[in-house]
Structure 1
Amino acid sequence: MPRLALVFVLACWGAIGSPAHSEAPLPEIFVAGPVEAADTHSGGFATTAGGNIPGARRRSAATLEDMIQEVAAAKAAGKPLVLTYTGNEDAQIARITQDHTADAYQNCPRPHWHAPYRELQIKEFSHGLTILGANGSSANFGITLIRSDNVVVRNMKIGALAGAAHDADMLRIDSSSNIWIDHNELFAVNNECKGSPDGDLTFESAIDIKKDSHRITVSYNDIHDSKKVGLDGSSSSDIAGGREITYHHNLYRNVHARLPMQRGGWTHLYNNLYSGITDSGINVRQAGYALIENNWFENAKNPVTCRYDAGNCGWWELRGNNTQSAADNATYNITWTGGPGYLNADTWDSTRAFPLTLTYTYTAHAPECVKAHLAVVVGVGKNLATLRCP
């Protein structure tokens, strides 16, 4: 089926926070029609159509249990799969959100951190798989990829999981390659509950990428109200020869830390909007490299940093962001804290050139357009819309 395109002209719209830029150029918004087999340009390291290839099974599922069965059947048959999730678990999400919202004394009414972790586990699946949330669907379960390849996850709304004591990530990528995480909404509660296990655990991560994982793209996601956003590597020994990850056109709002916490490897972060970081942002550690390009930062603590890694910080190259010098910190309400082994980008200077040759083409739009218009195309229910700026 030919690709359908619709071009809007939008009135200038100040996205989130201040300062607004009402004079920013009007963007073009591209709205994709049905996903085609050729839809493999992720704007990042991933180059996969997932299961949307000839011979694929096409199934729908309204429950987690049905999804588990459909994935198992496709794996047994050796077939690619496009699986559309149609369930709605808003009630469960709302209940857990309420039960984990802290009062003035940091007490939460009824925490669920020891509850079972509900997950769709995709293990050793390499035939091609697309998980696609139907508009209006929502999930109170996570999706974990283990030693799998060629997987796309799109348009999934996942919120406030129970089972943090059991590592209840919303999305987890372990020893998997060629993965595209696109146009999802991921959220929990950005507070701590007194008495939670290990001293800092309320919810686990929105997106953790670990072990021997390569060629990952994380794009156009709306990630909000989350305490731990994501790891790139789970420990100082989890370097895996260097993961290659692209984060682009993601909206981060009211989040605490780990955007991501990077251990080794190479990350390219472009055209993201960071609005409301309450502890720390892009944390480049364990001799990792980050290319941080044409992003918008505002209302943030320690948005680009290396911390908790004395003597082994990584490096960042800063290109074309809205923040160019120390004078911009006050303009965009950016603050910094320090400590032993900490290194902050408080003067907005690069520490080393990004050494990796990128394997994909992309357009890095002006951060002013990202600020003004990104929020209307990220997340679920947008028909995979993408941002195009003059």
Structure 2
Amino acid sequence: MRRPVALRLHAALATMAVAAATGAVLSLPEAASAATAGATGYATQNGGTTGGAGGQTVRATTGTAIHAALCGRASSSTPITIEVEGTIDHGNTSKVSGESCSTADGVIELKQISNVTIVGVGSGAVFDQVGIHIRESSNIIIQNVTVRNVKKSGSPTSNGGDAIGMESNVRNVWVDHVSLEASGGESEGFDGLFDMKDNTQYVTLSYSTLRNSGRGGLIGSSESDLSNGYVTFHHNLYENIDSRAPLLRGGIAHMYNNHYVSLNESGINSRAGARAKVDNNYFEDSKDVLGTFYTDAAGYWQVSGNVFDNVTWSARSGDNNPAGPDPQSNTTVGIPYSYRLDAASCVPAVVSQTAGANKGLRVSDGNCSPQTPTPTPSASTSQPSTPTPDPTTSTPAPTQPGGTNLSIGAGADGSSKADGTSYGNVRDGDMSTYWSPAGSTGSVSVKWGSATTVSKINIREAAGATGRIGSWRVVNADTGAVLTSGSGAGVITFPSTSLRKITFEITSSNGTPRVAEFETYAG
């Protein structure tokens, strides 16, 4: 059953597309942004986790540009969302100095800062051999990125070998829809994929993949580091991991609706008084998936609804104390937040459709049905919102708006266009012509020579292409402010705004969109 860790990803990694790294930091990228929904789990506690909500949105295509965005803020707590596209590597990740940051070469350093979102957009964001280090920081969101092959020995090294590592008084971190990957274990120079140390609390890891590593991650660096905890792991895939899925030293953790495949030596290792609530997970083709291992300092667990599919259990002896073959609860754990459990039997299917970067940020509705979230609008940025419906979120109205279509005779441009289509087709009044992006997402804009007041648009899909538009944002292209966001084509309203250019940005779709008309109205 045991499979070697080291060789599984080399072919796949070699074929991944690498975007050009320009180092630019721009306001409001024309590339498609990731639609975001709100934090879950323990990241909702202690005041919640909102990242850069309410602040400026910038784009970065290099690690240096990410650092420059952090250092360019008015203060270390000024909210900011950094939309990342392309490959971040040692060659383009340098230290940047400033009063609002403390950065370093060869690592994305989030040190002594707060209120930051880093989100992958467009064709994707890959942190290649460059780790993300969070230290003495709070209210951080990392979403829709891939971090791969970070090493602590050999060359090059980054972040102590952790893909994402948190330490020293860290609070409220939400890591969502990320792909964390290695190509081996400690002997090959790799360490943990997701580590928390030295007083790190209120963290959620959701809808993510952790693959091909000797060590999945830990909470607490030693038996005396017991100041960490309140961590949620849900709808994640752990695949081909030797151990630490995760390792818990003290504190409380909640694991629900995760899919564990090929845990080669041990899985959830609760020790040194840790308490784990383990609900409706699916364990498959693995060994010793739950227990206290490699220590005589016992930990505890509360189990319910889990599926153990081809799981083997070793005999209990000395410092090896697996919970199986018939795991029973030996503690109770109270959970302070609300959550909905998918049935364990459908977890492999749900997780395969939702977990990892570049999955359209799909989530489960708690009924074994993956959904594309509808983001909540913000006054100035495309920030994560709460998972509950917001009454201010625009939804397409069923009726045709009255008044003059201001798009007729206006100009048009966009982020990309498919062969045979044109931006101008969206404002020509002809439903038989249309614009399509070059891929499944993209943006199209209507613009005027002078300021024009708009409070309503009508997005009309071409015949035969209805229902393809998923989530979207409407952006004041003059300022970068997000006017509203939602999903589906139709009539969209927002507060009356005077502008020279308005952008309709499609952030997810059910096929190649075809926008026949982008109508604009004053009221």
What secondary structure sits across from 2:52 in the alignment?
Answer: coil
The separation in 2 between residues aligned to 1:185 and 1:118, in whole angstroms, is 20
| Contact 1:296 1:322 (C-alpha < 8 Å) held by counterparts | yes
Aligned to 2:50: 49
Aligned to 1:267: 253
CA RMSD for the aligned pairs? 2.3
| Contact 1:298 1:334 (C-alpha < 8 Å) held by counterparts | no
| Contact 1:271 1:295 (C-alpha < 8 Å) held by counterparts | yes
Sequence identity (%)? 27
The separation in 2 between residues aligned to 1:182 and 1:314, in whole angstroms, is 27
The one-letter amino acid paired with 2:302 is E
Aligned to 2:133: 144
* CA shift in 2, pair 1:162/1:314, >3 Å: closer
* CA shift in 2, pair 1:365/1:51, >3 Å: same
Aligned to 2:278: 292
Shift of 1:77: 6.4
* CA shift in 2, pair 1:75/1:316, >3 Å: farther
Q: 1:231 aligns with which of 185, 195, 218?
A: 218
Q: 1:154 aligns with which of 129, 143, 151?
A: 143
Aligned to 1:320: 305
Aligned to 1:99: none
The separation in 2 between residues aligned to 1:51 and 1:348, in whole angstroms, is 45
Aligned to 2:504: none
| Contact 2:151 2:191 (C-alpha < 8 Å) held by counterparts | no
| Contact 1:264 1:289 (C-alpha < 8 Å) held by counterparts | yes
The separation in 1 between residues aligned to 2:89 and 2:286, in whole angstroms, is 30
The separation in 1 between residues aligned to 2:81 and 2:180, in whole angstroms, is 21
Does residue 381 of the first structure (1) align with residue 358 of the second (2)?
A: yes
Aligned to 1:173: 166
* CA shift in 2, pair 1:90/1:335, >3 Å: farther
The one-letter amino acid paired with 1:68 is H
* CA shift in 2, pair 1:337/1:155, >3 Å: farther
Q: 1:347 aligns with which of 309, 325, 330?
A: 325
What secondary structure sits across from 1:283 in the alignment?
Answer: strand
Shift of 1:124: 1.2
Does residue 40 of the first structure (1) align with residue 38 of the second (2)?
A: yes
Aligned to 1:79: 78
Does residue 187 of the first structure (1) align with residue 175 of the second (2)?
A: no
| Contact 1:85 1:131 (C-alpha < 8 Å) held by counterparts | yes
Aligned to 1:69: 68
Aligned to 2:87: 88
What secondary structure sits across from 1:297 in the alignment?
Answer: strand
| Contact 1:318 1:349 (C-alpha < 8 Å) held by counterparts | yes
Q: C-alpha offsets along residues 50-105 of structure 1, whole Å, 9 cap, x if unaligned? A: 102x2x1211111111111111222636410100111225999xxxxxxxxxxxxx
The one-letter amino acid paired with 1:359 is P
The separation in 2 between residues aligned to 1:288 and 1:77, in whole angstroms, is 33
Shift of 1:161: 1.7
What secondary structure sits across from 2:345 in the alignment?
Answer: helix
Q: C-alpha offsets along residues 245-304 of structure 1, whole Å, 9 cap, x if unaligned? A: 000000011111101110000010000000111111100010110010000001111110
More divergent stretch after superposition (261-270 vs 161-170): 161-170
Shift of 1:338: 4.8
The separation in 2 between residues aligned to 1:303 and 1:343, in whole angstroms, is 11
Q: 2:289 aligns with which of 278, 300, 303?
A: 303
Q: C-alpha offsets along residues 300-350 of structure 1, whole Å, 9 cap, x if unaligned? A: 11110211211x211111110013xxxxxxx52434365422211113332
Structure 1 segments unaligned to the other structure (5+ residues): 1-32, 93-115, 194-200, 324-330
Aligned to 2:454: none
The separation in 2 between residues aligned to 1:237 and 1:264, in whole angstroms, is 9
The separation in 2 between residues aligned to 1:34 and 1:139, in whole angstroms, is 17
Structure 2 segments unaligned to the other structure (5+ residues): 1-32, 92-103, 369-523
State TM-score, norm by structure 1. 0.75
* CA shift in 2, pair 1:382/1:34, >3 Å: same
The one-letter amino acid paired with 1:49 is T
What secondary structure sits across from 1:230 in the alignment?
Answer: strand
Aligned to 1:107: none
Q: 1:210 aligns with which of 192, 197, 203?
A: 197
| Contact 1:57 1:74 (C-alpha < 8 Å) held by counterparts | no
Tell me how many residue pairs correspond in the alignment. Answer: 313
Does residue 124 of the first structure (1) align with residue 101 of the second (2)?
A: no
* CA shift in 2, pair 1:351/1:373, >3 Å: closer
Whose RCO is larger (CA < 8 A, sep 6+)? 1
What secondary structure sits across from 2:184 in the alignment?
Answer: coil
The one-letter amino acid paired with 2:283 is F
The separation in 2 between residues aligned to 1:309 and 1:75, in whole angstroms, is 48
| Contact 1:130 1:153 (C-alpha < 8 Å) held by counterparts | yes
Aligned to 2:341: 364
Shift of 1:372: 2.4
Q: C-alpha offsets along residues 206-261 of structure 1, whole Å, 9 cap, x if unaligned? A: 11011111111110001111111101000111111x51100000001111110111
Shift of 1:191: 4.8
